[in-house]
Amino acid sequence: MKIRGYWLASGILGVTAATIERVVESGADAVVTKSIGLHPRKGYSGPILATSHGGLLNAVGLANPGIDAFGEEMELLKSKRVPVILSIFGNTIEEIVEVARKSVQFKPAAIELNLSCPHAEIGQIAHSPDLTRRYVSSVKEVVDCQVFAKLTPNASDIVAVGKAAEDGGADAVVAINTLRGMKIDIHQIRPVLGNKIGGLSGHPVFPVAVRCVYDLSQSLTVPVIGVGGVTTWEDAIEMHLAGADAIQIGTAVVEGLDVFSRVKEGVKDYLKEMGFRNVSEIVGASWRSTP
Ligand SMILES: Cc1cc2nc3c(=O)[nH]c(=O)nc-3n(C[C@H](O)[C@H](O)[C@H](O)COP(=O)(O)O)c2cc1C
Protein backbone atom coordinates (compact mmCIF):
# COMPACT_ATOMS: atom_id res chain seq x y z
CA MET A 1 0.00 0.00 0.00
CA LYS A 2 1.02 3.59 -0.51
CA ILE A 3 2.38 5.15 2.68
CA ARG A 4 0.59 8.49 2.39
CA GLY A 5 -2.35 10.24 3.97
CA TYR A 6 -4.10 10.32 7.34
CA TRP A 7 -4.97 7.09 9.06
CA LEU A 8 -6.79 6.02 12.20
CA ALA A 9 -4.23 4.90 14.83
CA SER A 10 -4.51 1.52 16.52
CA GLY A 11 -6.76 1.10 19.55
CA ILE A 12 -9.25 3.89 19.02
CA LEU A 13 -12.51 2.75 17.41
CA GLY A 14 -10.72 0.08 15.37
CA VAL A 15 -12.33 -2.90 17.05
CA THR A 16 -15.44 -3.63 15.02
CA ALA A 17 -16.22 -3.39 11.31
CA ALA A 18 -19.07 -0.98 12.10
CA THR A 19 -16.87 1.58 13.91
CA ILE A 20 -14.11 1.22 11.34
CA GLU A 21 -16.65 1.96 8.63
CA ARG A 22 -17.72 5.16 10.40
CA VAL A 23 -14.11 6.31 10.54
CA VAL A 24 -13.65 5.56 6.85
CA GLU A 25 -16.78 7.54 5.99
CA SER A 26 -15.41 10.49 7.95
CA GLY A 27 -12.40 10.72 5.66
CA ALA A 28 -9.58 8.52 6.99
CA ASP A 29 -7.34 7.23 4.17
CA ALA A 30 -6.63 3.99 6.01
CA VAL A 31 -7.44 2.43 9.36
CA VAL A 32 -5.26 0.51 11.76
CA THR A 33 -7.19 -2.02 13.82
CA LYS A 34 -6.93 -2.49 17.56
CA SER A 35 -3.96 -4.77 18.32
CA ILE A 36 -5.05 -8.38 18.02
CA GLY A 37 -3.37 -11.36 19.68
CA LEU A 38 -3.63 -15.10 19.38
CA HIS A 39 -6.27 -15.60 22.07
CA PRO A 40 -9.15 -13.48 23.38
CA ARG A 41 -7.97 -11.22 26.17
CA LYS A 42 -10.08 -9.33 28.70
CA GLY A 43 -7.61 -6.57 29.50
CA TYR A 44 -7.20 -4.82 32.83
CA SER A 45 -9.94 -4.00 35.28
CA GLY A 46 -11.09 -0.38 35.34
CA PRO A 47 -10.75 2.43 35.34
CA ILE A 48 -8.93 2.00 32.04
CA LEU A 49 -9.03 5.66 30.97
CA ALA A 50 -8.29 8.95 32.68
CA THR A 51 -7.73 12.44 31.38
CA SER A 52 -4.67 14.28 32.58
CA HIS A 53 -3.11 17.59 31.66
CA GLY A 54 -4.85 17.79 28.31
CA GLY A 55 -3.95 14.22 27.39
CA LEU A 56 -5.43 10.78 27.87
CA LEU A 57 -4.02 8.00 30.03
CA ASN A 58 -5.06 4.49 29.09
CA ALA A 59 -4.42 1.07 30.50
CA VAL A 60 -6.70 -1.06 28.39
CA GLY A 61 -4.38 -4.04 28.67
CA LEU A 62 -4.61 -5.15 25.04
CA ALA A 63 -8.21 -6.31 25.41
CA ASN A 64 -9.15 -8.00 22.13
CA PRO A 65 -11.27 -10.86 20.79
CA GLY A 66 -8.33 -12.89 19.43
CA ILE A 67 -7.40 -13.29 15.78
CA ASP A 68 -9.93 -16.01 14.94
CA ALA A 69 -12.92 -14.00 16.14
CA PHE A 70 -11.57 -10.75 14.73
CA GLY A 71 -11.34 -12.43 11.35
CA GLU A 72 -15.12 -12.10 11.10
CA GLU A 73 -14.81 -8.30 11.35
CA MET A 74 -12.06 -8.33 8.72
CA GLU A 75 -14.32 -10.30 6.36
CA LEU A 76 -16.99 -7.57 6.72
CA LEU A 77 -14.42 -4.95 5.74
CA LYS A 78 -13.24 -6.71 2.60
CA SER A 79 -15.65 -4.84 0.36
CA LYS A 80 -14.52 -1.44 1.69
CA ARG A 81 -12.19 0.49 -0.53
CA VAL A 82 -10.11 1.87 2.33
CA PRO A 83 -6.97 -0.06 3.30
CA VAL A 84 -7.20 -1.90 6.61
CA ILE A 85 -3.94 -2.41 8.44
CA LEU A 86 -4.10 -5.23 10.92
CA SER A 87 -2.23 -4.48 14.14
CA ILE A 88 -1.00 -7.62 15.90
CA PHE A 89 1.00 -8.55 18.98
CA GLY A 90 2.44 -11.67 20.55
CA ASN A 91 4.08 -12.46 23.86
CA THR A 92 6.73 -14.53 22.09
CA ILE A 93 8.14 -14.67 18.57
CA GLU A 94 6.36 -17.98 17.99
CA GLU A 95 3.08 -16.43 19.07
CA ILE A 96 3.31 -13.32 16.88
CA VAL A 97 4.33 -15.50 13.91
CA GLU A 98 1.22 -17.60 14.41
CA VAL A 99 -0.98 -14.49 14.61
CA ALA A 100 0.70 -13.17 11.45
CA ARG A 101 0.11 -16.45 9.60
CA LYS A 102 -3.58 -16.34 10.53
CA SER A 103 -3.79 -12.62 9.67
CA VAL A 104 -2.76 -12.91 6.03
CA GLN A 105 -5.80 -15.00 5.16
CA PHE A 106 -7.89 -11.84 5.78
CA LYS A 107 -5.81 -9.98 3.17
CA PRO A 108 -4.94 -6.85 5.19
CA ALA A 109 -3.29 -4.00 3.27
CA ALA A 110 -0.40 -4.31 5.74
CA ILE A 111 0.41 -5.68 9.15
CA GLU A 112 1.50 -3.37 11.98
CA LEU A 113 3.47 -5.00 14.76
CA ASN A 114 2.69 -3.62 18.18
CA LEU A 115 6.05 -4.14 19.85
CA SER A 116 5.61 -1.40 22.34
CA CYS A 117 2.47 -1.22 24.47
CA PRO A 118 3.86 0.57 27.56
CA HIS A 119 1.63 -1.12 30.14
CA ALA A 120 1.64 -4.74 28.95
CA GLU A 121 4.17 -7.59 28.93
CA ILE A 122 5.09 -6.91 25.30
CA GLY A 123 6.23 -3.40 26.22
CA GLN A 124 9.85 -4.47 26.44
CA ILE A 125 10.30 -5.70 22.86
CA ALA A 126 10.85 -2.33 21.24
CA HIS A 127 13.34 -1.35 23.92
CA SER A 128 15.75 -3.91 22.47
CA PRO A 129 17.16 -3.59 18.94
CA ASP A 130 17.97 -7.30 18.88
CA LEU A 131 14.47 -8.46 19.92
CA THR A 132 12.89 -6.00 17.52
CA ARG A 133 14.96 -7.29 14.58
CA ARG A 134 14.04 -10.88 15.43
CA TYR A 135 10.31 -10.18 15.81
CA VAL A 136 10.18 -8.27 12.51
CA SER A 137 12.24 -10.73 10.46
CA SER A 138 10.30 -13.72 11.80
CA VAL A 139 7.00 -12.15 10.74
CA LYS A 140 8.40 -11.06 7.37
CA GLU A 141 9.31 -14.66 6.65
CA VAL A 142 5.70 -15.84 6.84
CA VAL A 143 3.70 -12.98 5.28
CA ASP A 144 3.52 -11.56 1.79
CA CYS A 145 2.27 -8.08 2.70
CA GLN A 146 4.02 -4.99 4.04
CA VAL A 147 5.01 -5.06 7.71
CA PHE A 148 5.25 -1.92 9.84
CA ALA A 149 7.04 -1.88 13.21
CA LYS A 150 5.51 0.34 15.89
CA LEU A 151 8.11 1.86 18.18
CA THR A 152 8.07 3.33 21.65
CA PRO A 153 9.33 6.73 22.82
CA ASN A 154 10.10 5.01 26.14
CA ALA A 155 13.14 3.28 24.56
CA SER A 156 16.44 4.86 25.47
CA ASP A 157 17.57 4.86 21.81
CA ILE A 158 14.60 4.79 19.44
CA VAL A 159 16.86 5.25 16.41
CA ALA A 160 18.82 2.07 17.19
CA VAL A 161 15.52 0.20 17.53
CA GLY A 162 14.23 1.72 14.28
CA LYS A 163 17.39 0.66 12.45
CA ALA A 164 17.02 -2.86 13.81
CA ALA A 165 13.42 -2.96 12.54
CA GLU A 166 14.67 -1.85 9.14
CA ASP A 167 17.42 -4.52 9.20
CA GLY A 168 14.76 -7.09 10.05
CA GLY A 169 12.88 -6.13 6.88
CA ALA A 170 10.25 -3.67 8.15
CA ASP A 171 8.65 -1.78 5.27
CA ALA A 172 8.06 1.25 7.52
CA VAL A 173 8.29 2.22 11.15
CA VAL A 174 5.48 3.81 13.14
CA ALA A 175 6.39 6.33 15.85
CA ILE A 176 5.15 6.68 18.55
CA ASN A 177 3.17 4.50 20.90
CA THR A 178 2.10 6.06 24.21
CA LEU A 179 4.41 7.31 26.97
CA ARG A 180 4.38 5.59 30.34
CA GLY A 181 2.50 7.73 32.81
CA MET A 182 0.14 7.72 35.76
CA LYS A 183 -2.39 9.78 37.70
CA ILE A 184 -3.00 9.76 41.45
CA ASP A 185 -6.34 10.67 43.01
CA ILE A 186 -5.44 13.14 45.76
CA HIS A 187 -8.65 12.49 47.74
CA GLN A 188 -8.69 8.72 47.53
CA ILE A 189 -4.91 8.78 47.88
CA ARG A 190 -4.30 6.07 45.30
CA PRO A 191 -3.59 5.66 41.58
CA VAL A 192 -6.60 6.31 39.36
CA LEU A 193 -6.07 3.60 36.75
CA GLY A 194 -6.86 -0.02 37.62
CA ASN A 195 -3.40 -0.96 36.35
CA LYS A 196 -1.86 2.07 38.12
CA ILE A 197 0.48 2.74 35.15
CA GLY A 198 -0.89 3.69 31.75
CA GLY A 199 0.10 5.18 28.44
CA LEU A 200 -0.20 8.91 27.80
CA SER A 201 -1.51 10.03 24.40
CA GLY A 202 -3.04 13.12 22.86
CA HIS A 203 -1.83 16.67 22.36
CA PRO A 204 0.77 16.76 25.20
CA VAL A 205 2.83 13.97 23.58
CA PHE A 206 3.06 15.74 20.24
CA PRO A 207 6.53 17.32 20.71
CA VAL A 208 7.91 13.93 21.76
CA ALA A 209 6.48 12.33 18.62
CA VAL A 210 7.95 15.09 16.45
CA ARG A 211 11.38 14.53 17.98
CA CYS A 212 11.19 10.77 17.38
CA VAL A 213 10.04 11.15 13.77
CA TYR A 214 12.73 13.79 13.16
CA ASP A 215 15.49 11.51 14.47
CA LEU A 216 14.21 8.33 12.80
CA SER A 217 13.60 9.77 9.37
CA GLN A 218 17.16 11.10 9.15
CA SER A 219 18.69 7.72 9.98
CA LEU A 220 16.39 5.27 8.19
CA THR A 221 15.71 4.64 4.53
CA VAL A 222 12.22 3.16 5.04
CA PRO A 223 9.26 5.54 5.47
CA VAL A 224 8.31 6.81 8.91
CA ILE A 225 4.63 6.93 9.85
CA GLY A 226 4.11 9.69 12.44
CA VAL A 227 1.63 9.32 15.29
CA GLY A 228 1.25 11.02 18.65
CA GLY A 229 -0.87 13.99 19.54
CA VAL A 230 -1.77 15.10 16.03
CA THR A 231 -4.95 17.15 16.49
CA THR A 232 -4.87 20.00 13.96
CA TRP A 233 -3.69 20.50 10.38
CA GLU A 234 -0.79 22.57 11.73
CA ASP A 235 0.32 19.51 13.74
CA ALA A 236 0.13 17.39 10.58
CA ILE A 237 2.30 19.84 8.65
CA GLU A 238 4.86 19.91 11.48
CA MET A 239 4.90 16.09 11.55
CA HIS A 240 5.50 15.96 7.79
CA LEU A 241 8.27 18.56 8.07
CA ALA A 242 9.87 16.36 10.75
CA GLY A 243 9.87 13.46 8.28
CA ALA A 244 6.54 11.63 8.43
CA ASP A 245 5.39 10.17 5.11
CA ALA A 246 1.96 9.31 6.51
CA ILE A 247 0.24 10.28 9.76
CA GLN A 248 -1.98 8.37 12.15
CA ILE A 249 -4.48 10.07 14.41
CA GLY A 250 -5.81 8.46 17.59
CA THR A 251 -6.85 10.42 20.65
CA ALA A 252 -8.03 13.47 18.67
CA VAL A 253 -10.75 11.27 17.18
CA VAL A 254 -12.45 11.26 20.59
CA GLU A 255 -13.28 14.95 20.08
CA GLY A 256 -14.94 14.26 16.73
CA LEU A 257 -14.48 12.16 13.63
CA ASP A 258 -14.29 15.28 11.48
CA VAL A 259 -10.61 15.54 12.46
CA PHE A 260 -9.60 13.70 9.27
CA SER A 261 -11.40 16.07 6.92
CA ARG A 262 -10.25 19.13 8.90
CA VAL A 263 -6.61 18.03 8.76
CA LYS A 264 -6.76 17.12 5.08
CA GLU A 265 -8.40 20.40 4.13
CA GLY A 266 -5.86 22.42 6.15
CA VAL A 267 -2.89 20.58 4.67
CA LYS A 268 -4.22 21.11 1.15
CA ASP A 269 -4.64 24.87 1.72
CA TYR A 270 -1.18 25.15 3.31
CA LEU A 271 0.51 23.41 0.38
CA LYS A 272 -1.25 25.68 -2.07
CA GLU A 273 -0.47 28.85 -0.13
CA MET A 274 3.20 27.91 0.29
CA GLY A 275 3.61 26.92 -3.36
CA PHE A 276 4.23 23.19 -2.84
CA ARG A 277 2.79 20.75 -5.37
CA ASN A 278 2.29 17.84 -2.98
CA VAL A 279 3.07 16.50 0.48
CA SER A 280 6.25 14.71 -0.69
CA GLU A 281 7.88 18.09 -1.11
CA ILE A 282 7.58 18.84 2.61
CA VAL A 283 8.38 15.40 4.10
CA GLY A 284 11.56 15.88 6.12
CA ALA A 285 11.96 19.42 4.77
CA SER A 286 12.89 20.74 8.24
CA TRP A 287 16.14 18.78 8.33
CA ARG A 288 16.81 18.67 4.59
CA SER A 289 16.97 22.46 4.55
CA THR A 290 18.91 22.90 7.83
CA PRO A 291 22.71 22.86 7.55
C1 LIG B 1 -7.40 3.98 24.32
C2 LIG B 1 -6.17 3.69 23.51
C3 LIG B 1 -5.90 2.38 23.10
C4 LIG B 1 -4.76 2.11 22.35
N5 LIG B 1 -4.53 0.83 21.93
C6 LIG B 1 -3.47 0.56 21.13
C7 LIG B 1 -3.29 -0.74 20.60
O8 LIG B 1 -4.08 -1.68 20.80
N9 LIG B 1 -2.18 -0.95 19.83
C10 LIG B 1 -1.26 0.03 19.53
O11 LIG B 1 -0.30 -0.22 18.81
N12 LIG B 1 -1.44 1.28 20.01
C13 LIG B 1 -2.51 1.56 20.80
N14 LIG B 1 -2.70 2.84 21.26
C15 LIG B 1 -1.71 3.88 20.93
C16 LIG B 1 -2.14 4.72 19.71
O17 LIG B 1 -2.27 3.92 18.55
C18 LIG B 1 -1.13 5.85 19.43
O19 LIG B 1 0.12 5.29 19.14
C20 LIG B 1 -0.97 6.80 20.62
O21 LIG B 1 -2.21 6.98 21.29
C22 LIG B 1 -0.44 8.16 20.21
O23 LIG B 1 -1.27 8.76 19.25
P24 LIG B 1 -2.47 9.78 19.62
O25 LIG B 1 -1.89 10.81 20.54
O26 LIG B 1 -2.90 10.35 18.28
O27 LIG B 1 -3.53 8.97 20.26
C28 LIG B 1 -3.84 3.14 22.02
C29 LIG B 1 -4.12 4.45 22.43
C30 LIG B 1 -5.26 4.74 23.15
C31 LIG B 1 -5.53 6.16 23.58
Q: How many other C-beta atoms are found inside a 10 Å radius of the C-beta of residue 59?
A: 28
Which residue, by CA, sits nearest to atom 26 of ligand 1? 250
Which residues are the active-site residues? 117
The rounded Å distance from CA 276 to ligand 1 centre is 31
The rounded Å distance from CA 273 to ligand 1 centre is 33
> Residue 120: its pLDDT value, please?
66
Q: What are the pLDDT tens digits along the chain (291 aa)?
A: 999 999 999 999 878 888 888 899 999 999 999 999 999 999 888 999 999 999 999 998 889 999 999 988 888 888 777 899 999 999 999 999 999 999 999 999 999 999 987 766 677 899 999 999 999 999 999 999 999 999 999 999 999 999 999 999 999 999 999 999 999 999 999 999 999 999 999 999 999 999 999 999 999 999 999 999 999 999 999 999 999 999 999 999 999 999 999 999 999 999 999 999 999 999 999 999 765
The rounded Å distance from CA 74 to ligand 1 centre is 20
Is residue 231 within 8 A of residue 243, CB to CB? The reply is no
> Residue 119: its pLDDT value, please?
67
Phi and psi (nearest 5°) for 278? -155, 175
Domain ranges within the chain, ordered by starting residue: 5-44+60-184+203-288
Q: Which atom of ligand 1 is nearest to the CA of 11?
A: 5
Give the C-alpha separation, 36 to 64, whole Å. Answer: 6
Give the C-alpha separation, 246 to 232, whole Å. Answer: 15
Count of positions (residues) in the chain: 291
DSSP run (H or E) holding 242: helix 233-242
Torsion angle of the four alpha carbons 57, 209, 155, 120, in this order, in degrees rounded to the nearest 10: 30
- 5-44+60-184+203-288: CATH architecture: Alpha-Beta Barrel (3.20)
